[in-house]
Amino acid sequence: MSELALILLLATCAMAFINWRYALFLCVLTAIVQDPLRKMVPGQPVYFVVFVGAVFAAGWLGALVSRVKLAPNSMLGWRQNIGTPFALFVVLAMFQAMHSLAVYQNPTMTAIGALSYFAPIPAIVFAYQFAIREGVQGIQRWMKFYLLIAIVALGTVILENQGINSRMLGEVGEGVPKAAAEALQALLVSQAVPPHGVVFHAGDTDHDLLVVKSGHITLVTQWPPDKGLRLATVGPGMAFGEMAFLNGAARSACAGAERGPAHLVRLSRAHFDAWARQYPEAALTVMNNLAQIGARRLAVTTRQLRAVLE
């Protein structure tokens, strides 16, 4: 998923650079799309939040190449009306940055503070150049686009708040209320599995429940897969290891990434039991989901064994 997100980012930056007038539209779209993409990547990496900045920078560079004036004094009436107050603002902001560095001895915090003061300025000038070229109709088009995207984003937030979305839990979290799901998700531990990597062998005594976030995991009677009978292949959002999790028995099969890499999340039985004491009704829903998953997988395995024996 990270690789796909980076490819999409590069494509979006290229479009913003080629036609800088599309950059503001692409910034809005990127801001909305990066959030669900980030949440689908194990660990929810923070770097996704700078995607909008990358798209804006590409559009800004595209405007420079197109010889658009992006200095603040290119704005009509800047020198007469804003020049002096802006110069005073710059002096005060720099003084505040030096004071922060002297007091806290933290260059990172100082840089972030300075960025928060000065980052809006290029955006204001960029938007000004867009407005004087596109006119009222261009501004209206952007506002309509912004409102449409915002409404779609708000709709997904409302659905998530109603407990309809439990991405990290996959099929295990179906029907679990939002508050309970968030508490359970906080207990999950990420695990990266390299190609041909083994998650567990038959006979192992760990009892963790596992959910696939990306890639695929093969369940077989013996590892490597070509030495045993393939029982199932589970993909994103699907759980496995539910039998050991439910009954505490040793693993009855092997699991691993047969081809490409995979990313999982693990839930220990001890953590689940502690969570269940706080959310007993949600725990019953999870246990019911696991029972259904186990029943479906057992039915498939039975058919496979019957076909082999016949």
Close Cβ partners of 291 (under 8 Å, ≥ 6 residues apart): 246
Per-residue model confidence (pLDDT) at position 200: 92
| Sign (positive or negative) of CA dihedral 115, 121, 123, 124 | positive
Per-residue model confidence (pLDDT) at position 160: 53
CA dist 56 and 17 (Å) reads 9
Candidates 135, 155, 168, 304; CA nearest to 229 is 304
Per-residue model confidence (pLDDT) at position 165: 44
Per-residue model confidence (pLDDT) at position 59: 92
Map tokens 């994103």 to a residue. Answer: 236
Per-residue model confidence (pLDDT) at position 163: 46
- Domain ranges, ordered by start, for the chain: 2-161, 167-309
Terminal Cα distance for the chain, rounded: 41
Per-residue model confidence (pLDDT) at position 44: 61
pLDDT in tens, the chain (310 residues): 567 778 888 999 999 999 999 998 998 888 888 877 776 665 566 677 788 889 999 999 999 999 998 888 888 888 888 888 888 888 888 888 888 888 877 888 788 778 778 888 888 889 999 998 988 898 899 899 888 888 877 766 555 554 444 556 777 888 888 788 888 888 888 899 998 899 999 899 888 999 998 889 998 888 888 888 888 888 888 888 888 888 888 988 899 998 889 999 999 999 999 999 998 988 898 888 888 887 777 777 667 666 656 5
CA dist 253 and 28 (Å) reads 47
Per-residue model confidence (pLDDT) at position 47: 76
Question: What's this model's pTM, rounded to 2 decimal places?
Answer: 0.51
Close Cβ partners of 5 (under 8 Å, ≥ 6 residues apart): 34, 37, 38, 41, 48, 51
The answer as to CATH 2.60.120.10 being correct for domain 167-309 is: yes
Residue pair 234/213 in contact by the 8 Å Cβ criterion: no
